[in-house]
Amino acid sequence: MRLTLQSSPLAQVAADWLIVGLWEKETPRSSVAEFDAKLGGLLTKLREQGDVTGKAKELTPVYQCEGIVARRLLLVGLGSRDKADFTGLLSATAAAAKMLSAKPCQRVALSLPDALNAETALRACAHGFYQGCSTAGIRKNANERTPPEEVAFIVPAIDPSLQDSVRRAESEGRSANLARELVNTPPCDLYPESFAERAREIASKTGLELQILDEPQLLAERMNALLAVARGSDRPPRLVVLRHRRGGAGPTLALVGKGVTFDSGGLSLKTTEQMVDMKCDMAGAAAVLGAMQTIAELQLPVNVLGVMALVENMPSGKAMKLGDVLNARNGKTIEVLNTDAEGRLILADALSYAVDLKADHLVDLATLTGACLVALGLDVAGLMSNDDAWCQKVLTASQAVGERAWPLPMFPQYREMIKSDVADIRNTGGSRYAGAISAAKFLEEFVGTTPWAHLDIAGPAWAEHENATREAGGTGCFVRTLVELARTYGQ
């Protein structure tokens, strides 16, 4: 999928499909009004007949249209203009793209809606395209979805800032697709070593510095908590470190991702129902890899470290047991009371490693707790932090790119939940209550005084059901937020 810019009257745009957005309860203005005239007032007529209302995500294909160059027309509802935002434009475009990509076509043109500013609107629509065209059916013999070769954005005027916006959207879109694809890849094909090889390919293409730690190196680095999780599996663990150094003597941002390529629960085995989607448990690491790819491609003038902790969580004769006490990299002892609380164990070592690599600010992303789904639902990430200013910075970045996160409290009292009788801390909260927070309190033990924010993406990383704007499966969430955070880092 190639993104291009074109400035010409809508009636003269050549395309297999021309997508035109219509606002609810508003007669078309300017370029769309002109276009309606060329169509002999078709849009006005459809509105008057009540066939088209402009309601959000409403799709009206017109297969035969006189007076315009495009072969077909797709009208898409944008909802009401006073509620226009990034998510709304993204969803409307995604719905259109999902419909169009069900059949092959070469060139799609989209009239850029006049909302927000043109740069932001363009990125929102472009992301809608990537989302609507992506498929979870990566192992089907017959393709059921084909993205168009070219998506042309029809704009009033082409300027350098719009060209930058296209470049950014194109790179972010590919990176979100990479994250979706990694999440959707079956766990027989995606395991710590194969994930690390993917990171190697991306590093060599983009010029990112790469280090892959294998078992002996992880042992030498004292990552005993990570190794304890990995021990139950026949697949050896990896820790991938990617480095982007373009910020000179400036501070370093570290992105840390949970990469459990399959979470069976270990000896605290999950039920089939709980386990069935657990190939998604590496979505945090996938978001980090995607974001690093774009940060490198856009040559952002910052220092960023990407750390991916990759393991498989399996039961076996070698698996860690309930009651085991682990000696984490930073010296703290951890009593294991549930082997299914494995994400926090691998992140413990990955976070303290990032601190030792001299990160000035940390963000970790993890499909960490079912409790976060109970608290915030399927579409919103939990945001927990040890630093209010840094937390706000992460929240602002997510809002700027239409991704939803919401802060959960980190009161000192919650620390009680992870107290252990035999060790420094234990790996569960001990009750069903505040499970997302007790997990975050656990992670906090491994970041020292470094400003840190934790995104629990257990909900938004995986779409259980298909909807009008996307297929079920990996969502590629929070790649955009991380890129925005890196872009605004140090400002």
User: Who contacts 300 (Cβ-Cβ below 8 Å, separation ≥6)?
Assistant: 244, 246, 483, 486, 487
Among 236, 247, 370, 407, binds ligand BES (CB under 6 A): 370
* Cβ proximity to ligand BES, 6 vs 274, nearer residue: 274
Q: What is the DSSP letter of 232?
A: T
* Cβ proximity to Zn ion, 274 vs 399, nearer residue: 274
Residues binding ligand BES: what is the number (CB under 6 A)? Answer: 15
Side chain identity at 468, as an amino acid letter? A
| Footprint of ligand BES on 380-419 (CB under 6 A) | none
Residue 405 and residue 482: Cα distance in Å, rounded?
A: 12
Q: Which of 243, 344, 393, 480 is catalytic?
A: 344
User: Which range of residues in 131-139, 255-263, 295-303, 457-465 is near Zn ion by CB under 5 A?
Assistant: 255-263
CA-nearest of 106, 103, 81, 105 to 92 is: 81
Binding track over 160-189 against Zn ion, x by CB under 5 A: ------------------------------
Asked whether position 312 contacts Zn ion by CB under 5 A, the answer is no
In angstroms, give the least distance from the CB of 324 to Zn ion. 18
Structure tokens belonging to residue 203: 């590093």
In angstroms, give the least distance from the CB of 311 to ligand BES. 11
Residue 192 and residue 128: Cα distance in Å, rounded?
A: 30
Residue 477 and residue 353: Cα distance in Å, rounded?
A: 25
* Cβ proximity to Zn ion, 56 vs 229, nearer residue: 229
Asked whether position 93 contacts ligand BES by CB under 6 A, the answer is no
Among 58, 263, 335, 403, binds Zn ion (CB under 5 A): 263
Residue 210 and residue 409: Cα distance in Å, rounded?
A: 35
Neighbouring C-alpha atoms within 13 Å toward the C-beta of 57? 14
* Cβ proximity to ligand BES, 88 vs 460, nearer residue: 460
Burial 332-356 (b: 16+ CB within 10 A, else e): bbbbbbbbbbbbbbbbbbbbbbbbe
User: Which range of residues in 278-286, 329-337, 369-377, 401-409 is near Zn ion by CB under 5 A?
Assistant: 278-286
Residue 135 and residue 137: Cα distance in Å, rounded?
A: 5
* Cβ proximity to ligand BES, 338 vs 392, nearer residue: 338
In angstroms, give the least distance from the CB of 309 to Zn ion. 11
Among 277, 312, 340, 387, binds Mn ion (CB under 5 A): 340
Asked whether position 371 contacts ligand BES by CB under 6 A, the answer is yes
- Cα distances (Å, whole numbers) of residue 163 to 17, 122, 153, 167: 22, 10, 11, 6
Residue 460 CA, chain-centre distance (Å), reads 8
* Cβ proximity to ligand BES, 101 vs 428, nearer residue: 428
Asked whether position 281 contacts Zn ion by CB under 5 A, the answer is yes
* Cβ proximity to Zn ion, 312 vs 484, nearer residue: 312
E strand or H helix that includes residue 374: helix 370-376
Phi-psi region of 271 (alpha: psi -120 to 50; beta: other; left: phi over 0): beta
The verdict on whether 25 is a catalytic residue reads no
E strand or H helix that includes residue 482: helix 479-487
* Cβ proximity to Zn ion, 260 vs 296, nearer residue: 260
Residue 235 and residue 488: Cα distance in Å, rounded?
A: 38
DSSP H helical ranges for 135-191: 160-184
User: Which range of residues in 117-125, 341-349, 424-432, 435-443 is near Mn ion by CB under 5 A?
Assistant: 341-349
Q: How many CB atoms are located within 10 Å of the residue 219 CB?
A: 12
User: Which range of residues in 197-205, 227-235, 279-287, 481-489 is near Zn ion by CB under 5 A?
Assistant: 279-287
Asked whether position 343 contacts Zn ion by CB under 5 A, the answer is yes
Structure tokens belonging to residue 279: 């190939």
Structure tokens belonging to residue 222: 């004292």
The verdict on whether 83 is a catalytic residue reads no
Binding track over 247-276 against Mn ion, x by CB under 5 A: ----------------x-------------
CA-nearest of 246, 252, 242, 244 to 286 is: 242
Residues binding Mn ion: what is the number (CB under 5 A)? Answer: 3
In angstroms, give the least distance from the CB of 87 to ligand BES. 22
User: Which range of residues in 20-28, 283-291, 299-307, 332-340 is near Mn ion by CB under 5 A?
Assistant: 332-340
In angstroms, give the least distance from the CB of 244 to ligand BES. 28
CA-nearest of 179, 171, 176 to 297 is: 171
Binding track over 445-484 against ligand BES, x by CB under 6 A: -------------x--------------------------
Residue 129 and residue 141: Cα distance in Å, rounded?
A: 23
Which residues here bind ligand BES, judged by CB under 6 A? 263, 281, 338, 340-343, 367-371, 428, 435, 458
Interface with Mn ion by CB under 5 A: which residues? Answer: 263, 340, 342
Residues recognised as catalytic: 270, 344
